[in-house]
Structure 1
Amino acid sequence: MAKLSYRQVEAFRAVMIAGTTTGAAELLYISQPAVSRLLNDFEAAVQVKLFERHHKRLAPTPEALLLFEEVERSFVGIDRLATMAEELRDFQRGSLKVAAMPAIALGFLPRVMQTFSEQHKGVTLTLQVRSSQQVADWIATQHFDIGIGAVNVADPSLSMEMLGEAALICALPAGHPLAAKAVIVPEDLKDQPFISLGPEQSVRYKVDEVFEKARVSRQLVFDTQLSHVACSFVDAGAGVSLVDPITALHFPSGNLVFRPFEPWVSFSYHLMYPAHRARSRATQEFSQLLKEELRKLVANSGGLLKLRGTNKKAPGDAGA
């Protein structure tokens, strides 16, 4: 059997639908002789009589009817592919899996994802909250499309991008005498009950170093892995703490105040992508939206959230 062409099959299908070569030509936007030629070539290729000619109409043979059923199944599949491609192009279908550390996932990120969902209603969104190291592991093994964490690891399976480097800020009870100060320095916290971020985080050692250099002692009453929990301790009247500013800005309590702390103690936010997989359009647009929403947060933070190093490749510094 001679090789079939897609155009021949298309002409056969059009004739079966229209009943005439003239009608088929109108469906395909080609001339009637072109349809007749394609139809003749198709019959010659399949070596089966497909039509009985009755004046200007074509009567399909039983073989043609059986063949048409198979052609329709194939064209339905092609139409489905075309529909899916259109839905993907218009974000009517797809998925985006995000893994993030708690510092950015407990307040800020759900709002960003809600905005993205409103703009792309067909995209299914997943958010998993884990430690920064677990986020890096998941992205490296391609279980998620994008990760946000505070670690910068030299892993060939990861593509890293600096989202921003912020300064820790001081969380205080609203009635605390230090709440009247515009900026808190280590000497202000001498002998104060202090909630530390846990020793498993590198930012803990940065904070300890600042107080050691200033020769300031604190009352270390609690330590915890999460800035959100540290804020909860402060909210309960357990002491003061240094926390990441994105967590602070989304902590739901009127019993706390936050003040800038000097010197700068950095807390880094990094974007992570699987290095050996192309980024989907949904991933790219979500990353862009994330950066835009972070810039808005900075602008509305009243100076509490200050970022440096945004949209640059991550430096070697490791965060919490």
Structure 2
Amino acid sequence: MTRPAITLRQLEILRAVIRGQTTMAAAKMMSMSQPAVSNAIRQIESQLGFALFERLNNRLFPTDGATIIYEESEPLFAMHAALEDRFQDLREAKVSRLRILSTPPLGDGVIPSALTAFSRRNPRLRTFFDIRELDEVIRSVESGKTDLGFGLSLGSQPTLEMEPLFEGRMVCVSPVGHALGAKETITPADLQGQTFIALDAHTRMGTAVREAFQAARQPFNFNVEVRYCNTACVLVEAGMGASVVDPFSATYTGRRNITVRPFEPAIPCTAWAFWSTRKPPSELARRFVKEIRLALT
């Protein structure tokens, strides 16, 4: 026998209970009575044929099944929220809207300055902009919640359309006056014995730098490990030591007290704009991508 389908409203109630951990908290979120929420959960469990929660100390903890439903339904609610925002824009006759997410290397430097100029030329533009980690940017673009994503060194992404904006290479940064500043190019051998600020080994760029040291048959020794290139540049500017970072963090954030030199062996570092294959970019979004490309040249 075919079981009845779960409705969007039922999923909303399930999400509220998971987030609130009690039916009372969920009732407040949903503007419902507590018995109505309890009845709804029982009905969903009956339709699905398995339990959704375990009760412990008056709190409800989702089962593995409930957690899977919650995670799998998130893109659906993200798309629904984006559609609601579009309805609001149309009601207010404010159809110029752009939602942008970027990783720190571009989001901390080139995008804010380009967005400022772009917004001045488009005074009716409503922009939503934030800086996130790459995986989160990709998920938000895939779901349709974000119009444009920007990041570095992406691999092939079947759910995304990708456009290269700038093809560069990672660089070595050191404090002004540091001995490394006298060299035209920095190699792993030059960094031996220096105070070195490494990128997190679990990041793409951190892995690439370690592989460059390995290719040069040099030991990879570091004094400090950081997750973001921008953090490494802050420490370099403070005089702590040298680092190998993406070129955008080094040159597009207004830093004055660091010296930038090419790093060998070359580590490619490409800046990308990307959007969902299911949601072609608007003319406005395409113009903003062009704006970023011009800013990077």
- Normalising by structure 1, we get a TM-score of 0.61
Change (3 A) 1:152 1:177: closer
Alignment of 1:277-296 (within 5 A): 277-295=279-297
Using the alignment, how far apart are the partners of 1:95 and 1:253 within structure 2?
Answer: 32
Alignment of 1:271-282 (within 5 A): 271-282=273-284
Using the alignment, how far apart are the partners of 1:239 and 1:153 within structure 2?
Answer: 31
The match for 1:226 is: 228
Tell which structure's C-alpha radius of gyration is larger. Answer: 1
Q: CA deviation at 1:276?
A: 0.9
Post-superposition CA distance 1:220-256 (Å, at most 9, x none): 1111111110011112222210011111113444321
Q: CA deviation at 1:162?
A: 2.1
Unaligned runs of 5+ in 2: 1-89
8 Å Cα contact 1:228/1:247 also seen in 2: yes
The match for 1:214 is: 216
The match for 1:144 is: 146
Q: CA deviation at 1:219?
A: 3.4
Post-superposition CA distance 1:191-230 (Å, at most 9, x none): 2121111122122122112212222235311111111100
- Give the stretch that moved more between structures: 218-227 or 102-111: 218-227
Q: CA deviation at 1:170?
A: 0.6
Letter in 2 for 1:178: L
Using the alignment, how far apart are the partners of 1:257 and 1:155 within structure 2?
Answer: 35
Post-superposition CA distance 1:259-307 (Å, at most 9, x none): 1112211222221111112321111111111112211xxxxxxxxxxxx
Using the alignment, how far apart are the partners of 2:132 and 2:143 within structure 1?
Answer: 15
Equivalent residue of 1:165, what SS?
A: strand
Using the alignment, how far apart are the partners of 2:215 and 2:159 within structure 1?
Answer: 38
Change (3 A) 1:154 1:245: closer
Letter in 2 for 1:187: A
The match for 2:104 is: 102
8 Å Cα contact 1:192/1:219 also seen in 2: no
8 Å Cα contact 2:210/2:220 also seen in 1: no
- Give the stretch that moved more between structures: 157-166 or 272-281: 157-166
Alignment of 1:161-180 (within 5 A): 161-180=163-182
Using the alignment, how far apart are the partners of 1:237 and 1:95 within structure 2?
Answer: 42
- In percent, how many aligned pairs have the same letter? 28
Using the alignment, how far apart are the partners of 2:296 and 2:157 within structure 1?
Answer: 26
Using the alignment, how far apart are the partners of 2:140 and 2:216 within structure 1?
Answer: 39
Unaligned runs of 5+ in 1: 1-83, 296-320
The match for 2:202 is: 200
Change (3 A) 1:178 1:108: same
Equivalent residue of 2:141, what SS?
A: helix
- Normalising by structure 2, we get a TM-score of 0.65
8 Å Cα contact 1:168/1:242 also seen in 2: yes
Using the alignment, how far apart are the partners of 1:105 and 1:289 within structure 2?
Answer: 14
How many residue pairs get aligned? The number is: 208
Cα RMSD for the two superposed structures: 2.1
Alignment of 1:1-320 (within 5 A): 93-295=95-297
Equivalent residue of 2:149, what SS?
A: strand
